[in-house]
Amino acid sequence: MTVTRTGEHAQDVDPRRWWGLVIIALAQLMVVLDATIVNIALPSAQEDLGISDGNRQWVITAYTLAFGGLLLLGGRIADLVGRKRTFVIGLVGFAAASALGGAATTAGMLFGARALQGVFAAVLAPSALSLLTTTFTDPKERGKAFGIYGALAGSGSAIGFIVGGLLTEYLDWRWCLYVNVPIAVIAVFGALALLHDSPGHAGARLDVPGVLLGCGGLVAIVYGFAEAEPRGWTDPMVLTLFVVGVALLAGFVRWQTRAPVPLLPLHIIKDRNRAGCFLTMALAVIGMFGLFLFMTYYLQVILDYSPVMTGLAFLPLTAAIITGSTQIAARLLDHVAPRLLMAPGALLAAIGMVLLTRLTVHSSYASDILPALILMGLGMGLIFMPVFATATAGVAPQDSGVTSATVNTSQQVGGSIGTALLNTIATTSSAAYITAHLTDPAQRAPVTEEGIVHGYTVAIWWAAAIMLLAGVIAALMVTAKPPKQGAAQETPIPESVA
């Protein structure tokens, strides 16, 4: 137990710290994977539970909304009760919610279980990143650790498609939820044995008004994007949701300047580099999550791929994200400024998306889809790893939990907005195309397929534009130096912890 009492430098020589990283990464993979693992299982779950077409999106959105909306609270809980304890509580709760979802007998029960998963993921994710930040303080080891973590954070969504396809085709859609239980059990025992943490901060308190304002604003905005699909952008309810969401978020910012212990201390987002990282992450994920949804349905509905084939089709994307994060970004971050990785990464990903705008009902995977997935994966890998490392560097110990939560919030909120916004653009574009081109009722099937693909390509153009904007934000706002040059800035942190 002397390791936990002798400061950060003792942790640097803890021979079990890399096994601790395995446990942290396993938990993070489970959390990120669950945002997409049910995508391929959706048709089976929808048929089994009688979910309507209009409501099926909530299987995904209930999770990402609860996750993104409550992450800041999760970060403060980690600061209050201790990161290791919060980590274990999150794992146990996530496993229980997953078992409940797997046993769901109604649509409402499944939606509720997915929301509960999001709640515990919001507790688990920030404590995981905080533990990683305090375990690896040496700049060189920190780069390797964040490379692995960033690869899992970025590729977990794609891995979810592969695992979801295998489980759906060979077992049952319910196993897409049940699979979390054994993973969580392993992670709990590993955490208890391998992870170390200082006690929680006695002065930390929970900002309940901040939670209500911030979470309420995010839910209203994402719900507005979701409702714009069936109702239209000018519908009074949709406009009201947007107005209420913006008002609540404005109230949240105003309250944070007055709260005794703010949920999100504004000095964290006033830092230029962190603000740039948060915005870059949110914008990049808006494009990526929307694209996952389109490509899943394109491969299964248009090209008639099986669930397993659909999952395997995403494997090159996963490999490219891991390569970009661990073999390129992690090796270069010690020598080049983070924005020199993030901005080119966004450009690469945008080029990959533009290639996908050429999709037709007869496109070939090898020539039309594969090159785009590889470019997107490499680009996203170059974004994720520097964002995680830069946003959490040099943070005061009492703010490490909430800073980690803000990184994850930008990722999940971006995913929620991306799924709702781009899906709405795609469906409205498809409907307009079909209405304009369906002159012969006998041609309904081929025209409908063409209309669906047209909607996807229009939305992908928007995704590419948003990805380019992420690159511009990174280039202009993230001015941090390479970690080796800025290492001296981080030395006060271990001293204050010790």
pLDDT single digits (tens) 354-400: 999 998 888 889 888 999 999 998 998 898 888 877 887 777 766 66
Q: Compute the average pLDDT of residues 288-300.
A: 79
How large a percentage of the chain has pLDDT more than 90? Answer: 15
* Gap between the Cα atoms of 445 and 295, Å rounded: 20
Give the CA angle between residues 20, 25, 28 to the nearest 5°. 130
* Gap between the Cα atoms of 224 and 122, Å rounded: 22
Cβ count near 79 (within 10 Å):
28
Question: Considering only CA atoms, which of 298, 305, 307, 296 is closest in space to residue 451?
Answer: 298
- Residue located via tokens 């995904």: 60
Q: What is the DSSP letter of 271?
A: S
Q: Compute the average pLDDT of residues 6-23.
A: 59
* Gap between the Cα atoms of 197 and 190, Å rounded: 14
- Top-confidence residue, 167 or 296: 167
Kindly indicate the confidence band of residue 3, based on its pLDDT and cuts at 50, 70 and 90.
very low
Strand (E) or helix (H) holding 461 = helix 444-477
Tokens of 159: 């891995």
Give the CA angle between residues 232, 252, 279 to the nearest 5°. 70
Q: Compute the average pLDDT of residues 86-90.
A: 88
pLDDT of residue 244: 93
> pTM above the 0.85 mark?
no
pLDDT of residue 113: 93
Kindly indicate the confidence band of residue 495, based on its pLDDT and cuts at 50, 70 and 90.
very low
Give 48-54 contacts, CB < 8 A, sequence gap 24+: 48/173, 49/104, 49/105, 49/106, 49/107, 49/110, 50/107, 51/107, 51/110, 54/230
For 244, the 3-state DSSP assignment is helix
Tokens of 436: 């304009």
- Top-confidence residue, 409 or 112: 112
Contact indicator for 176, 38 with CB cutoff of 8 Å: yes
Computed over every residue of the chain, the mean pLDDT equals: 80
Contact indicator for 383, 349 with CB cutoff of 8 Å: yes
Contact indicator for 181, 95 with CB cutoff of 8 Å: yes
